């Protein structure tokens, strides 16, 4: 059982929780105006882990037939036969239940919206079948994380978490465009939809830059709307520089540094922005 769980965690890239969780924590600290109550913070983290684990395992299940055909993904645990679909379904549904339980422990609005969150994060997995806007849907499925954290603290939706949602949506869609360039030929061959498959890698990389320019603008807007201080502004500046560096790493037709651009750089963006924001809140 432990071996299967370890394989599942590797399959869903558990370490990629670093993308959305820092924004949820950042949102929680801003909403609380300081350190949130320990119990609330714990259930926010539990909800985040449950949501992402359920979303990723669901994605692996519904994309199984494509993963078996794609040379890049056929060595994953499910197509390689290291796990059964039953094992992954149990993990997926248990993770979804964990999200719902965590939401119930937070407040009534969080509980009411938990099925909506599941619909969004599961629904993304089907979008590449019919629209090249799948990158934005993926972004939005991560972008609801800071909204959920804000609801957990304040019990309502306000402008600041909506701006954070927009930041995460554009940021994620931007780096997913880079990642999707790895599957341009396969997507075209099999009939899946993505910006690189439809418009080419150069167009995808240009759009990625434009989306991240939008992220920069929103980060600066968030500074004034949320009433944050100079420490946050320094963190936002660092995040913008890291995004610029990310785009220096990739070129059309050259995928050798996609992993560095996709995971390493963006991990520093999310973690750095979270740390600077929390520090700003605590010092302010």
pLDDT in tens, 212-233: 999 999 999 999 999 999 999 9
Nearest to 238 by CA among 263, 265, 264, 258: 265
d(CA 262, CA 186): 19
pLDDT in tens, 61-79: 999 999 999 999 999 999 9
Phi, psi of 221 (to 5 degrees): -65, -40
Q: What is the CATH number of the domain that holds 175?
A: 1.10.357.140
The range of the structural domain enclosing residue 242 comes to 2-283
What is the rounded average pLDDT for all residues in the chain?
A: 93
Provide the b/e sequence for 140-165 (b: ≥16 CB within 10 Å): bbbbbbbbbbbbbbbeeeeebbebbb
- Give the model's pLDDT for residue 261: 65
Residue with tokens 């420490």: 231
Across 117-145, average pLDDT: 97
Q: Taking CA 190 as the corner, what is the angle to CA 184 and CA 194, rounded to the nearest 5 degrees? A: 40
Cβ neighbours, 10 Å, residue 262: 20
Q: Taking CA 155 as the corner, what is the angle to CA 146 and CA 149, rounded to the nearest 5 degrees? A: 20
Res. 32: pLDDT tops 90: yes
Considering its fold, how many domains does the chain have in total? 1
Band the pLDDT of 59: cuts 50, 70, 90. very high
- DSSP labels for 138-163? HHHHHHHHHHHHHHHHHSS--HHHHH
Band the pLDDT of 176: cuts 50, 70, 90. very high
């Amino acid at each position: 059982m432990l071996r299967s769980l370890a394989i599942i965690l590797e399959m869903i890239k558990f370490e990629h929780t670093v993308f959305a969780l820092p924004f949820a924590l950042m949102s929680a600290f801003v909403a609380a105006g300081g350190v949130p109550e320990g119990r609330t913070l714990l259930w926010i983290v539990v909800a985040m882990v449950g949501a992402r684990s359920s979303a990723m395992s669901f994605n692996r299940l519904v994309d199984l037939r494509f993963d078996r055909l794609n040379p890049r993904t056929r060595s994953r645990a499910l197509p390689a036969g290291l796990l059964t679909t039953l094992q992954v379904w149990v993990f997926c549904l248990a993770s979804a239940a964990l999200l719902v339980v965590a939401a119930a422990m937070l407040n009534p609005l969080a509980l009411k919206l938990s099925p909506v969150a599941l619909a969004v994060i599961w629904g993304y997995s089907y979008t590449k079948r019919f629209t090249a806007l799948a990158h934005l849907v993926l972004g939005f499925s991560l972008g609801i994380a800071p909204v959920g954290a804000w609801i957990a603290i304040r019990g309502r939706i306000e402008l600041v978490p909506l701006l954070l949602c927009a930041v995460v949506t554009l940021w994620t869609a931007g780096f997913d465009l880079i990642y999707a360039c790895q599957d341009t030929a396969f997507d075209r061959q099999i009939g899946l939809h993505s910006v690189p498959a439809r418009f080419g890698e150069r167009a995808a990389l240009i759009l990625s830059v434009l989306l991240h320019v939008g992220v920069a603008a929103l980060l600066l807007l968030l500074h004034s709307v949320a009433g944050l201080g100079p420490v946050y502004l320094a963190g936002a500046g660092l995040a913008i520089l890291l995004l610029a560096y990310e785009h220096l790493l990739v070129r059309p037709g050259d995928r050798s540094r996609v992993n560095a651009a996709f995971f390493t750089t963006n991990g520093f963006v999310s973690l750095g922005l979270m740390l600077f924001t929390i520090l700003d809140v605590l010092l302010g």
